[in-house]
Amino acid sequence: MLSPPFHKLTSLLSLLDTLTCNRGVMLQMGRKLAQDPVEWTSSTNQMCDPEEVCQETLMLIDVGHRSLLMGSKGCSKAGAQNSQAVSLHSRPPGVLVASYVRVCSSDLCNNAGSSSVLLTSLPKPGGLQCPACVQFLGSCSQSSNLVTCPSGVTHCYDGNIAVNGGGLSATLSIQGCMAPASKYLLNHTRNVGIFSVRENFEDDNKEQSRVSQSGVARATYLLWVMGMGLFLALWNGGLYPLC
């Protein structure tokens, strides 16, 4: 049986073998949390169990117009190795899911002060802004909300998709960012299950207008040539003598 002094010494050594970590939970929802850092501090501490280490974890989910940011600081399970990592679980275009995780083994080492520890490693948005809209049985307006496109996007999309079949008949008006190598959303697909679909977008309308104008110009030119030919034929035949 341990003597009281030895027991106290063992307890003291056990305390010396434990860490004190920052402790707290953060939850925020809003706009631009993937672009603008927010404060991430803790006002309380936690004494860990022997061999436990400190941790801080940050997770971001961004769907474009709205973001969710979750953070935790505290003790982590025994045996965890010192590490720090940023992971991109899902990246744009589409939903962005990213995380920052740090495990460390000194007192109050989980001391990141803001979400910039995660944001600085995220893919940068591109400089192009496009109107974004999906309209059922109507047209997107020229004042649609603008969104910042992912890096690499070179052009905007403005078009519509006519859908028929399966008890539905509608024209969907669509605006948004477009992948660099893409021109059509449906890639010339004409059938989706029971639906027949036809895509038409702004460039098609411009091209059709150019073709139509060109056709009118050619027809006018041909009529002019035919008229001149008829005039010359009649003149040569003496029907239109020179004065």
In the chain, the number of structural domains is 2
Residue 236, domain member (yes or no): no
Is residue 21's pLDDT more than 70? yes
Return the pLDDT at 11: 46
DSSP tag of 167: T
Domain around 192: 127-205
Residue 137 and residue 110 share a domain: no
Residue 193, domain member (yes or no): yes
Residue 25, domain member (yes or no): yes
Return the pLDDT at 69: 95
Residue 189 and residue 96 share a domain: no
**Lowest mean pLDDT segment, chosen from 55-64, 133-142, 216-225:** 216-225
The pLDDT tens digits of the residues spanning 88-127 come to 998 776 688 999 999 999 999 999 999 999 999 998 777 7
Return the pLDDT at 123: 81
Higher pLDDT, 191 or 241: 191
The pLDDT tens digits of the residues spanning 200-213 come to 976 554 444 443 44
Phi, psi for 198 (deg, rounded to 5): -140, 125
Read off the amino acid at residue 161.
Answer: I
Residue 5, domain member (yes or no): no
**Lowest mean pLDDT segment, chosen from 1-10, 180-189, 210-219, 220-229:** 210-219
Residue 135 and residue 115 share a domain: no
Three-state SS for 187? coil
Cis status, amide bond into 150, omega within 30 of 0: no
Residue 37 and residue 92 share a domain: yes
Residue 24 and residue 110 share a domain: yes
Residue 93 and residue 46 share a domain: yes
Is residue 216's pLDDT more than 60? no
